Structure 1
């Protein structure tokens, strides 16, 4: 898995994720590679026009046998994984400032321009107009032909990275007397937008960028049955249509005053991608399932945003797992190690779990089997072998408590495990 901005969120064994976990990723790629022993056997995965910043790679071997085997009877699989990154970039991309129209002259067949959109921008537009040819032969053809040639063949706009040149998906066919406007109603802010212009010859055109800052509208809030909808979105302000928040279900939270079970909501984002995250709230008041004017002017909400290891608060992996910290050079992350056959991101998938009765039986057999030391202790006492009897008795007692504490479930510990292993 190759992921931009943060560690990949993946489920190699197709186990389920815990509820309220958002697993959407901006740029996640999946690669399958086979064993290779020569340089030409390497797997090549191209990423065209990648997002800028750090990229992370996570790899695993499928169907890896993790059962304990006696030394010499099984075959050990030794593996290594190497990677080489090769890239090229474009230098000296012109910057266009919002609010200042600019006449631009292209010098190449494919030209790129970047526009900085400051924080707090509600929406912006980019207008391209007054395109003219700068080559005399094309000007003569244009004046002598009734059909105007295309001044610009293709255009494309993309946030934060260069837009790929695709004649089928771009906006093209801009003649000398026409114009085109890109409009972003929910832009990525505090970063660059990149404009692609494709022309067969040297042309000039007027480029104007207009922005609008965020305006806050306070609506008359009222109450009967209070319902608050919250929407989380990365990089952009959540969408609004006709005064209502438009939000995907996996990014939506709802709290109501109907009962204690609905007064709070939680959304978990594993390995969050670095960016500006936005939260939008909308208040509605209901009476008999109908929206009515509220009787109060404001309402107070408690918003708790925090980072925590693994998945859950309190018990990071729940009662069926252990949270482990991993340090790899400069990288640090936490993950759950599941017990008793449980699996999943938070050890909540019990489709392959060991039955509780079998776990209890295993614990009882392992601990109570030490009772078979009693005949040896009794015989040693009858023969006045006091030292041997003491050794057998101590072995029975300490082995019983050791195995009783060394269980994933149904464990009973007299002292700490770290002290007991010595």
Structure 2
């Protein structure tokens, strides 16, 4: 979580990367209020906050503007009856990555405290000094309650997935090394806010570590919060009298919405200016979120009222009243605020009773039968007058970001036309917002005389939809818009997937709507519905061409799909650029069968009695073949052992092959050569274990061997007073072709490989390296007269391996 820092000094943000210090407790606000805006620049903007004689913040370099409206905004002004606390939250900076899947985005989580009246993010992006790095853009997404749902690549989402993309802000880095901007909100929602930052899509070129300096971009978010201490509480049915005396122009209050509140009526009355004329004020109800914000705004003159259906249950609702400019130069505004609720009494405890009955039937117990009968009678009487039918739901935690909701009692849910049926899905755990909420509905039966009746379902956070008429308007509550779906006899199944649902209590309200022909029999109509609700890390486990990955950021866990074989999208269901099965098969065969070009090198090594080199080439060919068979992104895959093990053996065999080949070319004594082979292999194994993809971990053994070979050849040239190797044919027909093939192979491997051409450029690397070994291996020893003589030494046992009888008896 973010850390809060408080001091008693003025706030100053001089340059990118520096930390701001914000005043602790301030009384009221200055005459100019608190201004804020969004802007950018290579050096950032300078903000100075003065503590006396009044609390005042002013921006140097540009005028404050809101990113959502483009106009200047203010929170409050003047007065001595309000105590504000300014807080500063920051998190460690992160290196940004090009976006190809959600795991590339850097996620940050901030918690906004209760009673916050101002929220400001300072978003800063810096670039390391590298003249080769050109202009780029960093995109920051912001969302309340859950990680942002983003789609930078414009891919397709799976069917039945409801997507509402998050608000985003783009920072451009051109010639400057840093850029910053502000994002401001008034009356922000209290709770978790998430930011996700990333760079544009990668170019696809495969970069070798050590051959080029990567472009590094750092993102640093900071959050400033101004909250009100001892905010007035508006109690139900109790008028709250407030006065705004100049220069104060804004007052704040809050209302607690109890559970099972069907409506909230807010009334503002007796609003006067200087106790004479009617006042003109702007009233804002609700908290601001990104996106969208469903705050209710009223322009009132004298008195006004607002009726809200389905307000958020068990939450504080902020109220902001702003005095609009009038004819009086220093007005004193007084007003009364009143809040009243209409309760919706639930029914449906019979579901608990039916559950206990099923337990008693299972266990053969009848001890509590009398009590259950009395309770059933009490429950039946309690159903009368209730406006909703409650259906208890059990939350069953299966794993990390994995929850199953089970209906208590019977497996089917009964839906009646006279009142909605309500199911509570508790997603209030800290990591529930990092998965995907999946809802499936199946209509089993309806009343026989209803015909094609329809069951409408609304899935909403914070509060349910209680009015049947609201289902036609998109399942909208007072401050949020839910998700709707329906089932009927003609279409009995429906499903919905909500990626990254907000951390809150979610409500599934079911409404039975009768056809017009059966309107007279609708009051007693019923429908039975099967409801399956689960929270899974990834929707359908990312499909065939995706891998569901669990990611962590400062203790927060969330999941995402990492696609392969050209498949893209949130759940790897977008196949517009996918590789066909034939392409996958061709890629696998090309990468694996190209290793067969090591067979000529193995044959030449055996023919010339280089058994160690032949063994290393065989090891390399075997593990390179099965590593690439296991490394394929599609379905044409074959893994003979753990992927990491096969990859390590492939890298080890490749480097050791170069090592033993160059030592063999040096033509040193066998004992010294074998010692260097073993010692070098041990050091190579250690080096690759530290970092198998580091270029110098692979090139250093080769350079050491080349230096050793060059020193030995130079020594022989000086000793024999002629070039070594002495034969020009050896140079012209073996060394020059072998070295040329090796150089071309390195160029292809380092500079030409991309994600698009990998399977044939890397296959060409295999072929060039394998053929170069045939040319670079030196000829065998002269005293070895017969080729393949090593084979008789391996299998001759006690037999005479060479016929020397003529020499034995040729004695004179």
Which residue of structure 2 lines up, in the alignment, with residue 121 of structure 1? 261
Corresponding position of 1:166: none
Which range moved further: 385-394 or 317-326?
385-394
Change over 3 Å in CA distance of 1:161–1:92 after alignment to 2: farther
Q: 2:556 aligns with which of 331, 334, 344?
A: 331
Residue 45 (structure 1) shift: 2.4
Q: Would the aligned equivalents of 1:155 and 1:195 in 2 still touch at CA under 8 Å?
A: no
Give the corresponding residue for 1:146.
none
* 1:333-412 correspondence runs (5 A): 333-377=558-602, 392-409=617-634, 410-412=636-638
Residue aligning to 2:332: 202
CA contact 1:115–1:192 (8 Å) conserved in 2: yes
Match of 1:87 in 2: 225
Alignment partner of 1:14: what SS? Answer: coil
Query: How far apart in 1 are the matches of 2:185 and 2:175?
Result: 24
Q: Quote the Cα distance in structure 1 between the aligned partners of 2:564 and 2:535.
A: 24
Q: Distance in 2 between matches of 1:71 and 1:53?
A: 42
Q: Which has the higher helix share?
A: 2
Partner of 2:467: 240
Q: Does the aligned pair in 2 maintain the 1:226–1:284 contact within 8 Å?
A: yes
Cα pair distance change 1:209/1:48, threshold 3 Å: closer
Q: Which ranges of structure 2 fall in alignment gaps of 5 or more residues?
A: 1-140, 290-296, 324-329, 345-385, 389-415, 419-445, 476-480, 650-812
Aligned position for 2:200 = 62
Q: Are the equivalent residues in 2 in contact too, given 1:342–1:349 (CA < 8 A)?
A: yes
CA pair 109-370 structure 1, distance change in 2 beyond 3 A: closer
Deviation at 1:346, TM superposition (A): 1.0
Structure having the higher Rg: 2
For normalisation by structure 2, the TM-score amounts to 0.43
Paired position in structure 2 for 1:159 = 286
Q: Is the 1:234–1:278 Cα contact (8 Å) retained in structure 2? A: yes
> How far is the alpha carbon of 1:323 from its aligned partner?
1.5
Contact 1:116 / 1:192 at 8 angstroms: preserved in 2? yes
Distance between the aligned counterparts of 2:178 and 2:546, measured in 1? 42
| CA shift in 2, pair 1:298/1:385, >3 Å | same
- RMSD over aligned Cα atoms: 3.5
- Higher normalized contact order (CA 8 Å, seq sep 6+, divided by chain length): 1
Alignment coverage as a number of residue pairs: 389
Contact 1:256/1:263 (CA < 8 Å) preserved in 2? Answer: yes
Alignment match of 2:511 (pick from 262, 278, 282): 282
Alignment CA distance shift 1:102-1:390 (3 Å) = closer
Q: Distance in 2 between matches of 1:295 and 1:172?
A: 41
1:185 corresponds to 2:410? no
Looking at structure 2, the residues matched to 90 and 195 of structure 1 have their Cα atoms a distance apart, in angstroms, of: 13
Instruction: Give CA deviations for 1:152-171 in whole Å, capped at 9, x if unaligned.
Output: 21131312469xxxxxx641
Distance 1:244 1:89, change over 3 A: closer
Range moving further from structure 2, 412-421 or 83-92: 412-421
Distance of 2:447 and 2:213 partners within structure 1 = 70
Equivalent residue number for residue 189 of structure 2: 51
Tell me, what secondary structure is at the counterpart of 1:400? helix
Shift of 1:95: 0.7
Name the CA distance, whole Å, in 2 between partners of 1:40 and 1:364.
47
1:265 Cα offset (Å): 2.6
